[in-house]
Structure 1
Amino acid sequence: MFVPSLDRCGRGLRDLVTMAAARATGQRILHHLGELTPRVGDVTDPPTSWTPSASKSLELAGHRPEQHPGSAGTALGAGAVGSRAVITTRADGLTLDTDPARIDLDRVHHWLSTDAFWALGRSRETVARSIEHSLVFGVYTPDTAGQLAFARVVTDYATFGWLCDVYVAREARGQGIGTWLAESVVAALEPYRLKRLMLSTVDAHEVYAHAGSSAVSEPGKLMMITAPVSSTAPTDPATGAAKPLPTDPKR
């Protein structure tokens, strides 16, 4: 019968302890990595393809949903849904996407500040900052005529979204672009299963009803705070740049 030496036993015991410690450490590391790894449905892991229901809602309107790598972060806005720009094309060649690089800031600012009753006089800096912190949608012509419509959604990609600043160029109205835009916004956000997507409208109830919106059943529960002064951020007299507001994440 073989009897190992005490020295060999000691080395063997040390090896077993080392292996056990390594295994435990590895399990902790894997567990930690598991906590950091995005899971399906997390805000950090947005869907990379349209869900069947989202595709269906666009196909019923005669549109073809697609996705392609966007350039989010290279221009205005966080814009793309996740890290990809959502694109859908109409039969007449108009395209709609969420790529912030395509937004014509000067045109959108002109639209809102001169022709949108809720945003008259809004500064270019405010428009730029609102785009930067929103999911943006643009409708474009297939030629060089440029952008025809705009909308943005303020959302946490988990529970709530606010659709606002929806605008269709006057020369492009009457072509169903507003309805298409509203339906596309709903379809793009559907995979996130937001509990509520809200908006405010004076006379476009029918447009948003086509996208599934309805009047608030208990409006008495809603409250709001209206800023007593301009919402434009204060500027630095020396540089002219906007100073961060207390709630600005860049502060």
Structure 2
Amino acid sequence: MLWNDLNINHPKEHHLLLSLLWELLDIPGIHAYISQTYWARNMPLLLFSKALGNSFCIGIYDTSIVSEDGKPKQIAFAQWVTDYASFGWLGDVYVIEEYRGRGLGKWLVQVAVNLEEIKE
């Protein structure tokens, strides 16, 4: 799919990257955060990963912090649950606490709701 190629640097904080690349997602980190919710509290990581694999996921990353495996630190997340035809639900939107108050959630949602693949 073409959307896998979308990478956008934040207009003011150029070390922050919004990306649709599945390979960058920190699945265990997302699971740890989302498992605090009522609906995912007891969901095993493998099942959670499968659920994400059937969603349209968006992440924001701090490229100035890189893990041992070469991935930038994931600091925000959102997912579209969609059939790509008649239904779309944007959910599980979050920004980790130390990055809040910088407009990143607004940026994430603004990009998410304007993606051509979702609007079609």
* Cα separation, 1, equivalents of 2:107 and 2:75: 12
Is there any run of 5+ residues in structure 2 with no aligned partner, and where?
67-72
* Cα separation, 2, equivalents of 1:168 and 1:119: 18
Is there any run of 5+ residues in structure 1 with no aligned partner, and where?
1-45, 49-80, 195-251
Q: Cα–Cα, structure 1 residues 107 and 100, in superposed 2: closer, same or farther, change >3 Å?
A: same
1:80-122 Cα deviation digits (max 9, x unpaired)? x2xx3211111202110111110011111111113x3543333
RMSD between superposed Cα atoms in Å: 2.0
- Aligned AA for 1:129? K
* Overall identity of the aligned pairs, in %: 31
User: Which of these residues, 186, 193, 206, is aligned with residue 119 of structure 2?
Assistant: 193
Provide TM-score, normalisation by structure 1: 0.41
Provide TM-score, normalisation by structure 2: 0.81
Equivalent in the alignment of 1:137: 58
User: Which of these residues, 23, 29, 45, is aligned with residue 101 of structure 1?
Assistant: 23
Equivalent in the alignment of 2:109: 182
- Aligned AA for 1:135? F
User: Which of these residues, 89, 94, 98, is aligned with residue 9 of structure 2?
Assistant: 89
Structure 1 residue 179, shift from structure 2 partner: 0.7
> What does 1:1-251 align with in structure 2 at a 5 Å threshold?
81=3, 84-90=4-10, 91-93=12-14, 94-114=16-36, 116-144=37-65, 146-189=73-116, 193-194=119-120
Check the 8 A contact 2:88/2:118 in 1, yes or no.
no
* Cα separation, 2, equivalents of 1:128 and 1:134: 10
3-state secondary structure, aligned to 1:143: strand
Higher-Rg member (1/2): 1
Q: Name whichever structure is richer in strand by fraction.
A: 2
- Higher relative contact order at CA 8 Å, sep ≥6: structure 1 or structure 2? 2
Equivalent in the alignment of 1:75: none
Q: Cα–Cα, structure 1 residues 117 and 85, in superposed 2: closer, same or farther, change >3 Å?
A: farther
3-state secondary structure, aligned to 1:144: strand
3-state secondary structure, aligned to 2:50: helix
